[in-house]
Amino acid sequence: MTSAVKRGATSSTRDRDTQTAREETHLWTRSVHVHVTMKIYFCGSIRGGRDDVMLYRKIVEKLQSYGTVLTEHVSSTELSHRGVCDVTELMSCHWSGEDASAAGDRFIHDRDVNWLRQSDVVVAEVTQPSLGVGYELGRVVDMKKKTLCLFRPSSARVLSAMIRGADDGERFVVRDYGEDEVDEVLEEFFNALKRT
């Protein structure tokens, strides 16, 4: 074999290696990109009552291992049922809260509907009844977003027929669960998402 032919073979092998490396990097970047940029909208009661806020926090922490939670504030213990910091907390906390004035309410509504549109999946804790959460879920059904509603039968409450009755077993799912099952229920949901 002439040295020119050998040189040609070596450079085409090098080209192929470079190409393979590029493709691998591209695939890796894409999978990381998909994971990091998944946008999750979490719904939980605010003005409907804050009894379950510690559970919201646990859910949001788990959700953050799957992507960006657009509504992290819903799980903040510094946000009261009035949507602002408790008076006793105002002196010490830096959280400015959600402004409950009429202009503030319009801002919250428009921002949240916009976040709902942007989101890839919606997870809602629906045990504590909340008009806002019910409204968000109604909008979400229209937007055809993949949605998981979590309800705790141990609360002795009966979930609204307008939520349970919307379960289609695929896109909009209502899941009964217990507090100690948060991790496994979310793992099940996100693993199934990966397969679709």
Ligand X SMILES: O=c1[nH]c(=O)n([C@H]2C[C@H](O)[C@@H](COP(=O)(O)O)O2)cc1CO
43 is in an annotated binding site: yes
59 is in an annotated binding site: no
45 is in an annotated binding site: yes
Smallest Cα–Cα separation from 124: which of 108, 107, 146, 155?
146
89 is in an annotated binding site: no
| Given 40, 46, 55, 70, the residue binding ligand X (CB under 6 A) | 46
Distance between CA atoms of 182 and 57, rounded to whole angstroms? 11
Of 9-17, 43-51, 153-161, 177-185, which part binds ligand X (CB under 6 A)? 43-51
In 150-181, where does DSSP find H-type helix? Answer: 161-164
Instruction: Give the strands of the sheet with 39-43, arranged side by side.
Output: 68-69, 39-43, 121-125, 146-151, 172-176
Can you tell me whether residue 8 is helix, strand or coil?
A: helix
In the stretch 62-81, what mask flags binding to ligand X with x, by CB under 6 A?
Answer: ---------x--x-------
Q: In terms of CB distance, is 29 or 99 closer to ligand X? A: 99
> Does residue 130 bind ligand X (CB under 6 A)?
yes
Greatest C-alpha distance within the chain:
86
In sequence order, what are the residues at sequence separation of 6 or more whose Cβ sits closer than 8 angstroms to the Cβ of residue 87?
none
Residue 44 CA: distances (Å) to CA of 56, 89, 109, 193: 7, 21, 14, 22
The least CB distance from residue 140 to ligand X, in Å, is 11
- Of residues 148-187, those binding ligand X (CB under 6 A): none
44 is in an annotated binding site: yes
Q: In terms of CB distance, is 71 or 147 closer to ligand X? A: 71
State the residues that interact with ligand X by CB under 6 A.
Answer: 43-48, 71, 74, 83, 98, 108, 112, 130-133, 136
Binding-site residue ranges for substrate: 41-47, 56, 136, 160-162
